[in-house]
Amino acid sequence: MKVALVNPFWTYEHSIYFGCRQPHLPLELGYSKAMLEADGHDVLMLDGLLQGLDNAALAERVASFAPDMTVVTTAPTYLFWRCAPPELRVPGEFLNHLAGRGGRTVAVGPHGSATPAPTLRKLGVDLVVRGECEEIVAELARQSDWSKVAHTARLQGEGLACYGGVHASSFIDHPALSWPSDWIAAHSHHHHRFDTVQKGAGAEVEASR
């Protein structure tokens, strides 16, 4: 299967988001990519801010890849799922540009985890993952019948169909991640470092969940 993983181009005009607005590595997509590739899938991972691609350009990259499934995150990185931008304008803009050219669509992140029905209606995706998403994204790529995949939700008629509760990832089993060198070069931010002037490449280290 061909799978596109997309961290959209985040902008914060008229947003009440109070978290960090610097680019960060999309940890949940990195783990998803590693697990999908271990299963033999062909994966395209994109990050709007780190690659300097707006949502229209991201959509064209995805459309050219012609994936069977496109996954978009509703927060800039897993590190900020706890205080994500409250509105869904940015992932919605990417999906509007994609315009049905990305195969089956999946939203991951805190919005679909906490409020799946409004997230599904606002984004128009086929399915949302509820909770931590890496193992669930890999399972969606294995299954043609998504009603068999737990920890997901989708609209069914006028109602909401939920399959299982919110997922907690087996974090310690995840592989170590590697990132494209140009992504690291574009990541100059040292998050929550106050003791000295930032100099050189920055990165995130996730030690627990």
Segment 51-105, tens digit of pLDDT: 999 999 999 999 999 999 999 999 988 887 888 888 899 999 999 999 999 999 9
Q: What is the CATH number of the domain that holds 36?
A: 3.40.50.2300
Q: Please indicate, yes or no, if residue 82 is contained in any of the structural domains.
A: yes
The model's confidence at residue 27, banded by pLDDT at 50, 70 and 90, is very high
The answer to whether residue 207 sits within a structural domain is no
Residue 139 located in a structural domain: yes
* Domain boundaries, position 67: 2-185
C-alpha to C-alpha distance for 137 and 70, rounded to whole angstroms: 10
Q: How many domains does the chain have?
A: 1
Give the type of residue at 126: D
What is the value of pTM for the model shown? 0.93
Flag whether 13 is in a domain.
yes
Q: Residue 204 falls within a domain, yes or no?
A: no
